[in-house]
Amino acid sequence: MSLFRGVYTSLTNAGPAADSLSADSWTALTVMSGTEGLAIPYSPRTDDGIAAVLLACFLIVSYVLARSKKFLLQQLKDFMLHRERSSIFADSTATDVRYLLLLVLQSCVLASLYVFNYFNDIQSDSMRLLSPRVWLSIYMGMALLYLAAKWLLYSFLGWTFFDKNVTNMWLVSYSTLIYYGGFALFPCVLLVTYFDVNVFFLITLGICLLIFAKILMFYKWLKLFFNNIYGLFLLILYFCALEIMPCFMLYQGVIQVNDLLIIKKLGL
């Protein structure tokens, strides 16, 4: 500061002819005295919107478990223990259906958060072109469309080739996997959002969850649709066509949507 005061005094003592020069010199010295700050990169852990979404998911889980815990436990028992007909205690009411729809919505939200964390790690620069809320809305919409398409496909194939009661039992079992998948995703999303995990761990955790879910699905398929050893090959073939291939198609669809939005935003 003493250096600036000395320069300013010498310039003002130079007389009226140096008034404009002194003002310009003082402005230049003032501007040069600062340094440009570094922009803080975006991180989901500092996003208040994501924190609010996770808090809402926690409240939804707490609310549903407090009011429909027995029904959810009964559905889990029906999934693990094969029964020819559904239990009379498992008949859902309109209130239970509303709770289950909330759990389906929560599972889609958590899945979209997990996918957002994945793409934010592998292509962070491109993800900053749009708001995180836009990405989350797109991923959640795709998850809902995927579940709706799978539900319609199961309904059509089941009511065409199988007994109606068996089809309904599979749809209930599939819904049970969606509910409990949301419960399993919640701590995983907290882990990948608020802890410094690498991309390899994130991918490995997601693949392990997906493989475990597919194993449970195949177990239920064996219980419901397996009649003899000769039909095992066809059952595996149908399982790959209805459960494995759609996962790859969904992943490629998400990548294509990401590329399309990025290209549109850049105006290429």
Q: Are 71 and 90 in contact (CB under 8 A)?
A: yes
Compute the average pLDDT of residues 139-156: 92
Of 36-40, 206-210, 215-219, the one with minimum mean pLDDT is: 36-40
Which one, of 121, 165, 133, lies nearest residue 53 by Cα? 133
Compute the average pLDDT of residues 86-102: 64
Look at the block and give the residue holding tokens 């398409």: 149
Instruction: Please give the model's pTM, rounded to 2 decimal places.
Output: 0.80
User: Rounded to whole angstroms, how far apart are CA atoms 67 and 75?
Assistant: 15
Mean pLDDT of the chain: 80
pLDDT at residue 2 in the model: 45
pLDDT at 33 exceeding the cut of 90: no
pLDDT at residue 35 in the model: 61
Q: Are 166 and 224 in contact (CB under 8 A)?
A: yes
The amino acid at 97? V
User: Rounded to whole angstroms, how far apart are CA atoms 232 and 236?
Assistant: 6
User: Rounded to whole angstroms, how far apart are CA atoms 214 and 220?
Assistant: 10
User: Rounded to whole angstroms, how far apart are CA atoms 263 and 210?
Assistant: 30
pLDDT at residue 26 in the model: 43
Q: Are 90 and 75 in contact (CB under 8 A)?
A: yes
Q: Which pLDDT band, with edges at 50, 70 and 90, does 78 fall under? A: confident
pLDDT at 54 exceeding the cut of 90: yes
163 vs 223: which has the higher pLDDT: 223
pLDDT at residue 267 in the model: 72
pLDDT at residue 171 in the model: 87
Which one, of 149, 161, 163, lies nearest residue 243 by Cα? 149
